[in-house]
Amino acid sequence: MAPSLEVPYEETSVNLNHNSVPTKSFHPSVSSYVPGRTVVENHDNYEYDDLKPSFPDKQWPALEEVLYNDKGLLGDPSFKNLLANATDVFDSNPKIGTEIHGVDLANLSDVAKNDLALLIATRGVVFFRNQKNFDLDAQRKLGAYYGSLHKHATTAVPKRGDLDDVHVVYTDEKSKDQRAMFTPTFLWHSDVTYELQPPSYTSLKVLTGPPRGGGGDTLWSSQYAAYDALSAPMQKYLESLTALHSSHIQAEGSKALSRTVRREPIVTEHPLIRSNPVTGWKSLFFNPGFVTKIVGIPKVESDVIISYLNEVVTTTQEMHVRFQWGKDDVAFWDNRSTNHSASFGFAPHRRHAVRVCCQGERPALSPNATSQEEDLAKKYGLPVVNKDGSGQSNYND
């Protein structure tokens, strides 16, 4: 069930005297409520001990280009196969995010999987609650249906030892607060964009997390919407440019912690504006964690544009969705057309999740690509957004 600010209670009459005031027996969360404080779960005899993080001393060869066939191209635009047993479906906001209830990810037919890929490509990120049946084997199987599973060169894998294509997210009461190490904007990223074929469909399942209100949310930002937020001249300019994506910072961080870098760090050049092969929509392809330079322009110009794009991605609220996790919840996103960011502030709670992703196509900008905003405005008869900054009234909320 989706989180709610409403707390249920039952009214019971404890006195038959009509002059008396009926008393209410409150839900335990009401009677024990303390502002800003949540109960820390005891993790003795932890059921996911074999999925805790490890950093194996292994060496892998450089990734080679692999064939990629996007399953989203086979999806039904009505999503009838995916939603056949759904009990509820709703969008988080117009630009990004959809939540589906009543669908069991562990038992999807192939046609439903294709619909799911199409929906993820369309909406950026799709959320599923309480997916108890969707264990790690099922998660890897579904990921492999979409493409070759990606193995991360530096981050943690499960200590079980046979799951090199699983990325472990893990923080517990012993972990240090890392807030001071990063600017909030730097944490926004699209996964491993330095790869020749960065991931397409990516799933993250939370095994253990803070209780409701305990923090640890994840945020996503639509890169379709980021492109559409730019003026037409800026769009045209950026479409002519490429950017360098580097894994060197990530590799150096691992070396500083005496951890093995399992593949040699690389720098890859990708278009700054790409298109999604499923939707045909243009999106910004940029994140501050990996983009080090825009190619072919002076450094001062590159730095200013990077700062500007960072501002657009991280501060434009209508292109954001924030998800409050529960145990066994799953998010499935399109790594090509979204950025995402973790949030701090959940200590001393344990937060344990597993991520699986597949290699997508090599980023490219199709000459036939279109704007999401313009396409949807035309389709639904919506007004065209004014981007010239003129004739605007004072904004009051």
Amino acid, res. 40: V
Q: Kindly state whether residue 14 falls inside one of the protein's structural domains.
A: no
Q: Kindly state whether residue 36 falls inside one of the protein's structural domains.
A: no
pLDDT at 18: 45
pLDDT at 16: 40
pLDDT at 92: 98
Closest alpha carbon to 293 in 285, 281, 301: 301
**Is a pLDDT exceeding 50 seen at residue 149?**
yes
Q: Kindly state whether residue 27 falls inside one of the protein's structural domains.
A: no
Q: Kindly state whether residue 21 falls inside one of the protein's structural domains.
A: no
Domain extent, residue 77, equals: 73-380
Q: Kindly state whether residue 238 falls inside one of the protein's structural domains.
A: yes
* Tens-digit pLDDT profile for residues 268-319: 999 999 999 999 999 999 988 899 999 999 999 999 999 999 999 999 999 9
Q: Kindly state whether residue 335 falls inside one of the protein's structural domains.
A: yes
Q: Kindly state whether residue 210 falls inside one of the protein's structural domains.
A: yes
Beta bridge partners of 170: 352
Closest alpha carbon to 57 in 122, 154, 200, 175: 154
Q: Kindly state whether residue 49 falls inside one of the protein's structural domains.
A: no
Largest CA distance in the chain: 84
- Count up the domains in the chain and report the number: 1
Dihedral sign, Cα of residue 299, residue 196, residue 319, residue 349: negative
pLDDT at 55: 95
The conformation of residue 370, written as its DSSP 8-state character, comes to: B
The conformation of residue 345, written as its DSSP 8-state character, comes to: -
Angstrom distance (rounded) from CA 10 to CA 213: 23
Please return the burial class of 76, using the count of CB atoms within 10 Å of its CB with bins 0-12, 13-18 and 19+: middle
This prediction has a pTM of: 0.91
Instruction: Rounding to the nearest 10 degrees, give the CA dihedral for residues 120, 125, 130, 131.
Output: 40
**CATH code for the domain in which residue 259 is found:** 3.60.130.10
